[in-house]
Chain A
Amino acid sequence: MVRVPEEAKQTTEEQPATASGPGRVLIAIYAIFAVGATSRAAVQIATRFDEAPIPYLLSAFAAVVYLLATFALARKGIGWWRVALAACSVELAGVLIVGTLSVFDTAAFPDAAVWSNFGMGYLFIPLVLPVVGLLWLRKTHPRSEAEITRTRR
């Protein structure tokens, strides 16, 4: 008798909280960046990789991170929530590190990659996006019923 409602509650807790309400706008923006970064990196690497290998590889890496964040945010469950957290964290670290490097070592970044100059070429959206993503993830932390009962005990 006790188990059934508990299980039912757990399923409601596992609804894709990250993919509802404002989260859907966030996912839409992530999807645009994922498609944009992926196709841009693909063209850069396929046609003129020798010109600037580091920024182009970073573009490809950024593309993977955006794809991962988009899918993870759109999925339900604590597992995907954690993937989204990892993706947004890596993204924030990436934009800060690459941004700083590109400002100080302009020679290594002759062609603008998505994270160059903190995403200035993209209206700083690459800098703002992971911050908003992390804030949203904090708000939608999927605390499972089991976890809640454990802390109560």
Chain B
Amino acid sequence: MITGYAVAVALCSLAVAVWAFVLVARNRPPKKPLLTGLAVIEVLLLAQVVISVVLLIGGDRPGSMVTFIAYLVGSLLVLPIATVWALAERTRSATAILGVACVTVPVLILRMSEVWGGASA
């Protein structure tokens, strides 16, 4: 993992989370701009996976390969699943769900980097 990039993705995701919660406070259902924000985070996460896979092929080894890959896959699934669940009922609660999902991403990145740094779980 490239620490700088991971931090940047985490911060971007947090920014979108703040944006979502501001919309929740203003009683707004999720609209296209916010969903575009989530899509950008998803692309950044996809790039993160590519970077990690390249580093793994290059010989880098995390503390636990299984755990690391689980976090890697999990980080790609959070936003799409949350979006499907949110858009089934387009209210301010849907916007809140997207906010929660965006907070989850930095948590996953933090745990992922701990595992990358040698932690076993």
Residues of A within 8 A of B (CB): 20-25, 27-29, 31-32, 35, 39-40, 43-44, 47-48
Chain B residue at minimal CB-CB distance from A35: B74
Residues of B within 8 A of A (CB): 64, 66-67, 70, 74, 78, 82, 85-86, 88-89, 91, 93-94, 96-97, 100-101, 104, 120-121
Chain B residue at minimal CB-CB distance from A44: B121
Contact A43 B89 (CB under 8 A): no
Contact A25 B104 (CB under 8 A): no
Chain A residue at minimal CB-CB distance from B108: A36
Given contacts A24-B86, A32-B78, A32-B100, 16 further A-B contacts (CB under 8 A): A20-B89, A21-B89, A22-B96, A23-B93, A24-B94, A25-B93, A25-B97, A25-B100, A28-B82, A28-B86, A28-B101, A29-B100, A31-B85, A35-B74, A43-B66, A43-B70
Sort A-B residue pairs by CB-CB distance and give the 3 closest, nearest first.
A25-B96, A28-B97, A24-B93
- Within 8 Å CB of B97, what residues of A? 24-25, 28
- Within 8 Å CB of B120, what residues of A? 47-48
Nearest CB on B from A133, distance (A): 15
When chains A and B are docked, how far (Å) is the Cα of A90 from the Cα of B5?
Answer: 41
Chain B residue at minimal CB-CB distance from A24: B93
When chains A and B are docked, how far (Å) is the Cα of A51 from the Cα of B89?
Answer: 45
- Within 8 Å CB of A32, what residues of B? 78, 100, 104
